């Protein structure tokens, strides 16, 4: 048990917020009107200002690409990003803003992978998510195929997948396969559920976290992150070798 555990215990709330230990956010939904994130330029600018206040100095925003719901593509994502950048420039807000995508693993993603129409970030990292309930064979196939195509898999919010909650060994298996794990900061406040919070904490305890992300969709995520900054686990995050600032 670490000193932090002994002094504070799990689920305790620190009196003072802990600064976020990285400067680059790699997960958010800030291209307006193309997914379930920001719905207007005004909202995007507001959220970006809030991310700056939290301490982020670079943002890689990641609109959903999902066969069934959000059939975005490289072009409309880049066009949307340009509009946000123009607005930021107009308002004198300086922050590097790049785009990638959060790919839902489905048949559509497998086709994009085959055609190599993939938005990656940094050194060929690709952010992916899976369905929340069931482990399906396509997940394994996608990870395998991404590796063959020279991409590095970053699994978004692993703490949120119910099919992994009673299968913790699989997180270690993923790490052994070279998969990178990105937890959501907001998970540490209990924003989704107590269970999701506990899994995020265990991932930190077992040194399995490579990236953190805000996953900002709307203002309540920012509010949730402010609450997360009071988690003792923020101190533990600082001790991990997070890769956000290598980007």
Name the segment binding Fe ion (CB under 5 A); options: 11-19, 94-102, 117-125, 165-173.
94-102
In the complex, minimum distance from the CB of residue 156 to Fe ion, in angstroms, rounded to a whole number: 6
Q: Which is nearer to Fe ion, 25 or 215 (CB)?
A: 215
In the complex, minimum distance from the CB of residue 28 to Fe ion, in angstroms, rounded to a whole number: 7
Q: Which is nearer to Fe ion, 210 or 215 (CB)?
A: 215
From residue 211, how far is each of 79, 112, 154, 159 by CA, in Å? 27, 24, 8, 13
Q: Which residues contact 78 (CB under 8 A, 6 or more apart)?
A: 99
In the complex, minimum distance from the CB of residue 8 to Fe ion, in angstroms, rounded to a whole number: 29
Q: Which is nearer to Fe ion, 25 or 201 (CB)?
A: 25
List strands edge to edge, sheet with 97-99: 24-25, 58-61, 97-99
In the complex, minimum distance from the CB of residue 4 to Fe ion, in angstroms, rounded to a whole number: 28
Asked if 35 touches Fe ion (CB under 5 A), the answer is no
Measured CA to CA, the distance from residue 143 to residue 75 in angstroms comes to 25
Measured CA to CA, the distance from residue 186 to residue 213 in angstroms comes to 9
Asked if 159 touches Fe ion (CB under 5 A), the answer is no
Name the segment binding Fe ion (CB under 5 A); options: 13-21, 82-90, 97-105, 227-235.
97-105
Measured CA to CA, the distance from residue 13 to residue 36 in angstroms comes to 30
Asked if 50 touches Fe ion (CB under 5 A), the answer is no
Q: Which is nearer to Fe ion, 64 or 197 (CB)?
A: 64
- Of residues 101 through 130, those in contact with Fe ion by CB under 5 A are 102
In the complex, minimum distance from the CB of residue 184 to Fe ion, in angstroms, rounded to a whole number: 8
Kindly write out the interface string for residues 196-215 of this chain, putting x where it contacts Fe ion by CB under 5 A and - elsewhere.
Answer: -------------------x
In the complex, minimum distance from the CB of residue 155 to Fe ion, in angstroms, rounded to a whole number: 12
Point out which residues bind Fe ion (CB under 5 A): 102, 215
């Amino acid at each position: 048990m670490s000193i932090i555990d002994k002094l504070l215990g799990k689920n305790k709330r620190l009196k003072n917020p802990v600064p976020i230990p990285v400067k680059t956010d790699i997960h958010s939904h800030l291209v307006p009107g193309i997914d379930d994130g920001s719905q207007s330029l005004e909202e995007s600018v507001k959220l970006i200002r809030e991310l700056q206040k939290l301490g982020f100095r670079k943002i890689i925003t990641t609109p959903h690409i999902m066969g069934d719901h959000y059939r975005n593509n490289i072009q409309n994502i880049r066009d949307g990003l340009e509009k946000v950048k123009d607005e930021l420039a107009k308002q004198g807000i300086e922050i590097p803003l790049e785009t990638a995508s959060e790919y839902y693993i489905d048949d559509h993603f497998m086709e994009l992978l085959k055609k190599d129409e993939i938005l990656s970030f940094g050194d060929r990292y690709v952010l992916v998510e899976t369905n929340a309930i069931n482990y399906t064979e396509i997940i394994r196939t996608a990870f395998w195929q991404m590796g063959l195509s020279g991409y590095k898999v970053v699994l978004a919010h692993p703490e949120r997948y119910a099919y992994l909650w009673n299968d913790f060994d699989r997180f270690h298996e993923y790490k052994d396969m070279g998969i990178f794990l990105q937890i959501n900061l907001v998970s540490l406040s209990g924003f989704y559920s107590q269970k999701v919070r506990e899994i995020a904490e265990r991932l930190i305890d077992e040194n399995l976290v490579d990236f953190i992300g805000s996953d900002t969709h709307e203002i309540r995520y920012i509010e949730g992150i402010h609450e997360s900054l009071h988690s003792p686990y923020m101190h533990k995050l600082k001790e991990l070798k997070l890769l956000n600032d290598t980007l």
